[in-house]
Amino acid sequence: MKYQVSQQSAAEVQAACIVVTIDQSGKLSDAAKLIDEASNGFLTQRFEEGDIKGKSGETLLLPAVSGIAAKRVLLVGTGKEAPKATSAIKILNAIANATLKREGEVALAISELASDELPESWWAEQAAIAFTGNSYKFTETKPQPEDAPKQADSVSWIGSDVSAALLKGAAIGEGMNFAKELGNMPPNICTPTWLAEQAIALTADSSLETTILDQEKLAEMGAGAFYSVAKGSSEPGKIIVMQYKGAENADEAPHMVLGKGITFDTGGISLKPGAKMDEMKYDMCGAASVFGTVKALLALKPKINVLAMVTSAENMPAGNASKPGDVVTSLSGKTIEILNTDAEGRLVLCDALTYGIDNYKPASVVDIATLTGACMAALGNVNSGLFTQDEDMAEQLQSAAAYSQDKVWRLPLEDDYQELLDSNFADMANIGGPLAGATTAACFLSRFTEGTPWAHLDIAGTAWNGGAAKGATGRPVALLVNYLLNK
């Protein structure tokens, strides 16, 4: 889908559909007034007759109106007050859903919605994300219909030159779609080896270098925490290292993003209940978000260095799988008593943190993981959990989250929680008991990041939707891309 800027008026633009707005009091935007005047008050009549009430996100698709060039008019409600960020995204998604199946050009005459808080460039960026994201549909393992569904060819923004914002939004949208596709792929296809192949395919872009560390090599290196998880599966585990080199100084310290990529999580010997276990294919959505972020960076080409890592394995209950009570030695040399094999994400992540920090000396580290049900219970599917003791990191991630509306909520990471990980038989246990589960998981990871600015995002509640709407969300790609671009 192409995105472009148009200087034509709403009445002149030759599009398959022109989008204009009306608020809940019946006030038309200036663009809508042009169409209303050209059509002898047709839009005003629609409000007066109750066809549309102007509620936020409400849409009314109208046929060709005399006096204008567009073939259709989409009248969109904006509510009682100037839209805030949350309602703005609701409006944009409503527009995308109402117009995407129209072939040809969709013209957006909505620049008047811009404000000091939400400038025109923000609206344009979010519009591109909405259109790109709403065009996604998983079809890889479903029979294709004989007739492909219709889809808009292009989206035109009527207003200021916001080309850069449209490009950024399209790149983020494509990155989110890539993350959704990886997350939605069934686990018999999406294995650690398959994920490594996706990384290698991305190296067609010369600004990306990829290294694959296989399970046996990692075991030889002493990555005993990672190996304790991977060894229980017939699918070999891997750590995938992607280096995006965009900075003018090739030696500039990279910013590291690390994604948990458990392509299927049975819980291991600490077996999960059978209900909804199919959704454990989404336990690699942290990895998917890193892939999506790389995809967006390759499109945008920012002048930064990024170390994008994925630690991938299956967690299976085989005869050689780890058992509760086992003690393993991590790549850092620290020993870990495994009390619950379903707390495997932190085991694969800790060795990847050690490897990335020791070998690449990153300027900062963010890890992203579907790590704990405790975080999901606390925050639901609205906010991802943010953990860090670095105030600069917290501010940067919260700022990127507020801008992108890829929301986070900061949860405690105080030293007082560390003692919950005490073990009689190792340097630490891999769980901290029934209380503060999301925090003790973050405490565990923090022990492998000493001396490096680090933050942890627990996306267990935000990475996918269940039920009838089951599917990966593509979060937190938008947050990560904005965070890295702000660097």
CA distances from 149 to 19, 32, 100, 102, 137 (A): 21, 29, 10, 10, 11
Measured at the CA of 221, the angle between CA 217 and CA 225, to 5 degrees, comes to: 95
Yes or no: say if 429 and 335 are a contact pair by the CB < 8 Å rule.
no
106 token code pair: 């969709």
Residue 354's SS3 state is helix
Distance CA 453, CA 324 (A): 32
Q: Rounded distance, CA 238 to CA 230, Å?
A: 8
Within 64-222, strands assigned E span: 73-77, 104-108, 152-158, 208-214
DSSP 144: P
- Stated as kind and residue range, the H or E segment containing 367 is strand 364-369
Q: Checking phi first, is residue 361 left (phi over 0); if not, alpha (psi -120 to 50) or beta?
A: left
Give CA–CA dist 33/56, Å, rounded: 19
Query: Cβ of 95: how many Cβ atoms within 10 Å?
Result: 25
In whole angstroms, give the CA distance from residue 457 to residue 189: 26
Q: Identify the CA nearest to 165 among candidates 201, 198, 129, 194.
A: 129
In this structure, are strands 305-315 and 255-265 parallel, antiparallel, or unpaired?
Answer: parallel
C-alpha–C-alpha distance, residues 337 and 233, integer Å: 20
Catalytic residues: 272, 346
Distances (CA, A) of 107 to 1, 396, 484: 13, 34, 31
The CA distance from 23 to 27, in Å, is 5
**359: how many CB neighbours lie within 10 A of its CB?**
11
